[in-house]
């Protein structure tokens, strides 16, 4: 029985993609520290924006400027960040519905782990705001993460 | 929902590997060859007699583009065969084969799938299936996404961590009767709940094992099926539906695509006694049970399900195979098999299988 | 369909800014590749300067490098065959571009070599002869790399290249079916 051979295999590529007008506009906004949603056929605001309406497939084009603040609609506390993830210290994955949007954006939340006694700790309903990356290039990582917003918690 | 015709399709053979954490001593084709030979031997068919071959796998597990073309060597594709491949779970390869048979393009089909997860880190590899602009650059691994979904279920009051642990215990204890399963048996829920979180609210027991494995199925129509098996497992209906990709645009506590697929497959036309659900994460099984209105009378995942063995890309086909095998053995009269694809149950397939009345 | 600039025209603060049209997001995945039984046997044998093919029990064809399965018959190919170090060029090309990361001097000649007794050609570089003298039917022999350089690590790099033997060309009937 020969020894089991093995060798490292690294697959790495600098993927460059065209963005199209809607994603291009969204990423342009992020570079300028502005979050954009898009209005769907039924009037609901989608963020992140979609090129086509998820229900009737209509081409969408009405961008909506949204504030930097929102509410956590779901979270998952990650005690062991993995390679390439946005933060190197423990953080929460979060779905955040920005104020004025009707859908939620997935990103990371730099906040204390769940703790019923800490109003700034990770939980559904937490009010959060964007922490922008210092260097921005037009990518989802222009949002470095979310952090607890310094305001009264919403019910 | 379907009217019986001479082109009814049945599962007449099923085989799977003993799923393991790693099969370093085997290449992908060496892993697959025994199950291919097993189903051909079960039916006495040769490759020349098979009308259509379809496989499901993902090159991302191997990290090598077109690696799937080399597993076709195991079929012995000469003289040239009618063949297709989906970069998806083999359940969808089975769907494609079912279409070929229903439309009269073949009378028999060989469907196989495999997942050799061990070369890479599968939970990270799966991030490559996500939206490349808004999701993939953040590298939200498969456990993180499942954890988000689990938390929505807890927030909605539809589950708690104990219910998740009970699901894990039940599945892995059922797998004690399954010689192919990787995790067979389980500690008590109390012991499991004392362990740390992987990604809260999920603990290790809420997650599937990382598995290398393969499976194959042979389908046949009408009288050809009756000639190949004394009790064919007839596919009375099969359908699949997909939801929007962005997790933030979906209600993660439910599975409308599963329900819609079930309606169109005729799942609710009569009671089922067995359901094999492709739920790699405990919370997902609870969501699927509700979407499919499965009451206590239904035996869910007697094989142990994906929590007991999860060869990614084969686990869904194995649910269909396990359900069919129970019908073959007379242990089930009418069964559901479910397969899923994409993040947080984005896409779902339902097959309804019945033994001859 | 509107352009990004047109979509942004009505947004306060974004009208007129240079829009993003492309995004570069590097991605890297690390794997550990294991070649499996047949290929491990083949690679290990190369360190001993042996060329191992495997024979199909049904059609008796010999495959090199072996993959453990006969692609014609779908049968396991477990019988090991030590193949001779000589074979025939069945096709070749002259490559003028060095692929990124490939440490090779261009132009170089790359060929399919049908080893005597095999039914599938091995890929290899042809060396030791001017490129315009390489031709189909040419008899060639393996030139091994210095064993000490390889430190006995199983690798296709055990083979440096193939070089003409100087023998008369092979009878086309010996290789025509396997081109």
Does residue B119 surpass a pLDDT of 80?
Answer: yes
Can you tell me the distance from the alpha carbon of B99 to that of B59, in angstroms, rounded to the nearest whole number? 24
What confidence tier does B339 reach under pLDDT thresholds 50, 70, 90?
very high
Mean pLDDT confidence for C139-145: 97
Mean pLDDT confidence for B23-44: 97
- pLDDT tens for each residue of chain A, 155 residues long: 557 899 999 999 999 999 999 999 999 999 999 999 999 999 999 999 999 999 999 999 999 999 999 999 999 999 999 999 999 999 999 999 999 999 999 999 999 999 999 999 999 999 999 999 999 999 999 999 999 997 655 55
Judgement on whether residues B126 and B190 belong to the same structural domain of the protein: yes
Provide the β-strand partners of residue B352.
B237, B336
Position C87 scores a pLDDT of 98
What confidence tier does B6 reach under pLDDT thresholds 50, 70, 90?
confident
Residue B296 located in a structural domain: yes
Residue C27 located in a structural domain: no
Residue C165 located in a structural domain: yes
Can you tell me the distance from the alpha carbon of B32 to that of B125, in angstroms, rounded to the nearest whole number? 21
Residue B33, chain C, CB below 8 Å: the answer is yes
Position C1 scores a pLDDT of 85
Residue C25, chain B, CB below 8 Å: the answer is yes
Interhelix angle for B256-265 vs B282-291, to 10°?
50
Residue C126 located in a structural domain: yes
Position B16 scores a pLDDT of 98
Does residue C3 surpass a pLDDT of 50?
Answer: yes
Segment C62-108, tens digit of pLDDT: 999 999 999 999 999 989 999 999 999 999 999 999 988 888 899 99
Determine, for residues C34 and B28 on separate chains, whether the beta-carbon distance falls below 8 Å: no
Between C18, C32, C41, which is nearest A2 by CB?
Answer: C41
Residue B2 located in a structural domain: no
Judgement on whether residues B179 and B294 belong to the same structural domain of the protein: yes
Interface of C with B in 43-72 (CB under 8 A): 67-72
Partners of residue C9 in chain A, C-beta under 8 Å? none
Q: How far is C59 from chain A (nearest CA, A)?
A: 26
Positive or negative: CA dihedral C99, C100, C101, C103? positive
Position A1 scores a pLDDT of 54
Mean pLDDT confidence for B228-232: 97
Give B178-197 as a DSSP string: -TT-SS-----HHHHHTSPE
Partners of residue A19 in chain C, C-beta under 8 Å? 4, 20-23
Domain with B21, as residue range(s), is: 9-120+210-232
Can you tell me the distance from the alpha carbon of B301 to that of B315, in angstroms, rounded to the nearest whole number? 12
What confidence tier does B1 reach under pLDDT thresholds 50, 70, 90?
very low
Does residue B11 surpass a pLDDT of 80?
Answer: yes
Q: What ipTM does the predicted assembly reach? A: 0.96
Residue C101, chain A, CB below 8 Å: the answer is no
Judgement on whether residues B165 and B253 belong to the same structural domain of the protein: yes
Q: Judging by beta carbons within 10 Å of its beta carbon (0-12, 13-18, 19+), is residue C164 exposed, middle or buried?
A: middle
Cis previous bond, A68, omega within 30 = no
Determine, for residues A74 and B246 on separate chains, whether the beta-carbon distance falls below 8 Å: no
How many residues comprise chain A?
Answer: 155
Q: Identify from A28, A30, A38 which residue to disrupt to test chain C contact, counting C C-beta atoms within 10 A and taking the largest count.
A: A28
**What is the helix, strand, coil percentage profile of chain A, to 5?**
10, 40, 50
Q: Two tokens at B9?
A: 């399709």
Residue B65 located in a structural domain: yes
Strands, sheet with A45-46, edge to edge from the N-terminal-most edge strand: A45-46, A35-39, A63-66
Judgement on whether residues B40 and B157 belong to the same structural domain of the protein: no
The closest alpha carbon to A80, from A68, A69, A92, belongs to: A92
Q: Two tokens at B128?
A: 């490559």
Residue C1 located in a structural domain: no
Residue C171 located in a structural domain: yes
Can you tell me the distance from the alpha carbon of B92 to that of B87, in angstroms, rounded to the nearest whole number? 9
CATH number of the domain at B241, please.
Answer: 3.40.47.10
What confidence tier does B4 reach under pLDDT thresholds 50, 70, 90?
low
Judgement on whether residues B60 and B148 belong to the same structural domain of the protein: no
Residue that the structure tokens 């000469």 belong to? B78
Determine, for residues C69 and B33 on separate chains, whether the beta-carbon distance falls below 8 Å: yes
Between B124, B147, B246, which is nearest A82 by CB?
Answer: B124
When the pLDDT of each residue in chain B is averaged and rounded to a whole number, the result is 96
The DSSP symbol for B167 reads: H
The total domain count for chain C is 1
Does residue B240 surpass a pLDDT of 50?
Answer: yes
Positive or negative: CA dihedral B181, B183, B188, B194? negative
Does residue B340 surpass a pLDDT of 50?
Answer: yes
* Torsion from C-alpha of B16, B20, B22, B24, nearest 10 degrees: -50
Residue C13, chain A, CB below 8 Å: the answer is yes
Judgement on whether residues B228 and B244 belong to the same structural domain of the protein: no
Residue B81 located in a structural domain: yes
Position C179 scores a pLDDT of 83
Determine, for residues A48 and B132 on separate chains, whether the beta-carbon distance falls below 8 Å: no
Can you tell me the distance from the alpha carbon of C169 to that of C179, in angstroms, rounded to the nearest whole number? 15
Does residue C172 surpass a pLDDT of 60?
Answer: yes
Can you tell me the distance from the alpha carbon of C78 to that of A17, in angstroms, rounded to the nearest whole number? 46
Report domain extents, chain A: 20-148
**Secondary structure class of A67 (helix, strand, coil):** coil
The closest alpha carbon to B168, from B319, B285, B343, B295, belongs to: B285
Residue B114 located in a structural domain: yes
Looking at chain B, the whole-number percentage of residues with pLDDT higher than 70 is 98
Q: How far is B253 from chain A (nearest CA, A)?
A: 11
Determine, for residues C4 and A25 on separate chains, whether the beta-carbon distance falls below 8 Å: yes
The total domain count for chain B is 2
Chains B & C: contacts with CB separation below 8 Å = 82
Domain with C117, as residue range(s), is: 37-178
Residue B133, chain A, CB below 8 Å: the answer is yes
Position B2 scores a pLDDT of 46
Residue B137: partners with Cβ closer than 8 Å, 6 or more residues away: A139, A140, A141, C25
When the pLDDT of each residue in chain C is averaged and rounded to a whole number, the result is 94
């Amino acid at each position: 029985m020969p020894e089991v051979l093995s060798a490292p295999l690294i697959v790495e590529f600098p993927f460059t993609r065209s963005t199209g007008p809607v994603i291009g506009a969204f990423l342009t906004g992020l570079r300028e520290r502005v979050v954009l949603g898009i209005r769907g056929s039924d009037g609901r605001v989608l963020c992140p924006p979609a090129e086509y309406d998820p229900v009737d497939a209509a081409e969408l084009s009405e961008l909506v400027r949204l504030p930097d603040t929102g509410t956590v609609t779901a979270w998952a506390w990650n005690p062991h960040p993995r390679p390439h993830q946005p933060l190197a210290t423990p953080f929460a994955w979060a779905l955040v519905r920005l104020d004025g949007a009707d859908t939620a954006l997935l990103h990371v939340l730099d906040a204390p782990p769940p703790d019923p006694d800490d109003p700034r700790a990770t939980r559904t309903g937490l009010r959060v705001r964007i922490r922008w990356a210092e260097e921005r290039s037009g990518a989802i990582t222009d949002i470095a993460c979310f952090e607890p917003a310094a305001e009264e918690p919403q019910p | 929902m379907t009217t019986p015709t001479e082109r009814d399709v049945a599962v007449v053979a099923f085989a799977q590997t003993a799923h393991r954490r790693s099969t370093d001593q085997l290449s992908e084709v060496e892993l697959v060859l025994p199950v291919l030979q097993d189903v051909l031997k079960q039916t006495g068919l040769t490759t020349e007699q098979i009308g259509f071959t379809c496989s499901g796998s993902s090159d991302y597990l191997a990290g090598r583009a077109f690696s799937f073309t080399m597993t076709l060597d195991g079929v012995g594709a000469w003289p040239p065969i009618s063949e297709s491949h989906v970069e998806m779970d083999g359940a969808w390869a089975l769907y494609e084969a079912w279409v070929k048979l229903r439309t009269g393009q073949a009378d028999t089909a060989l469907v196989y799938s495999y997942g050799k997860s061990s070369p890479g880190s599968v939970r990270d590899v799966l991030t490559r299936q996500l939206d490349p602009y808004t999701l993939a650059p953040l590298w939200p691994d498969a456990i993180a996404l499942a954890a988000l979904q689990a938390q929505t279920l807890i927030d909605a009051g539809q589950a708690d961590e104990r219910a998740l642990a009970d699901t894990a215990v039940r599945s892995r204890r059922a797998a004690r009767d399954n010689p192919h399963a990787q995790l067979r048996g389980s500690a008590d829920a109390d012991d499991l709940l004392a362990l740390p979180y992987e990604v809260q609210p999920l603990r290790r027991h809420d997650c599937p094992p990382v598995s290398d494995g393969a499976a194959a199925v042979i389908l046949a129509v009408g009288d050809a099926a009756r000639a190949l098996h004394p009790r064919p497992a007839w596919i009375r209906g099969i359908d699949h539906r997909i939801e929007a990709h962005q997790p933030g645009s979906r209600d993660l506590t439910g599975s409308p695509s599963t329900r819609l697929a079930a309606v169109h497959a005729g799942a609710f036309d009569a009671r089922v006694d067995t359901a094999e659900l492709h739920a790699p994460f405990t919370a997902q099984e609870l969501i699927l049970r509700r979407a499919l209105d499965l009451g206590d009378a239904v035996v869910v995942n007697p094989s142990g399900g994906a929590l007991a063995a999860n060869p990614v890309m084969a686990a869904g086909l194995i649910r269909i195979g396990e359900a069919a095998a129970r019908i073959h053995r007379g242990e089930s009269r009418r069964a559901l098999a479910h397969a899923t694809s994409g993040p947080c149950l984005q896409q779902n397939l339902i097959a309804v299988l019945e033994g001859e009345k | 369909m509107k352009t990004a600039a047109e979509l942004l025209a009505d947004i306060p603060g974004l009208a007129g800014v240079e829009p993003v049209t492309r995004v570069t997001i590097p991605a890297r995945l690390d794997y550990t590749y294991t070649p499996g039984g047949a290929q491990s046997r083949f690679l290990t044998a190369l360190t001993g300067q042996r060329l191992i093919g495997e024979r199909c029990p049904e059609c008796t064809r010999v495959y090199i490098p072996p993959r453990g399965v006969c692609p014609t018959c779908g049968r396991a190919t477990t019988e090991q065959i030590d193949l001779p170090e000589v074979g025939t060029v069945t096709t070749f090309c002259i490559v003028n571009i060095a692929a990124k990361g490939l440490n090779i001097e261009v132009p170089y000649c790359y060929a399919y070599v049908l080893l005597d007794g095999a039914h599938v050609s091995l890929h290899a570089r042809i060396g030791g002869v001017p490129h315009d003298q390489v031709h189909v039917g040419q008899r060639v022999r393996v030139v091994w790399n210095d064993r000490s350089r390889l430190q006995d690590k199983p690798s296709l790099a055990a083979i440096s290249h193939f070089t003409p033997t100087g023998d008369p060309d092979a009878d086309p009937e010996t290789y025509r079916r396997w081109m």
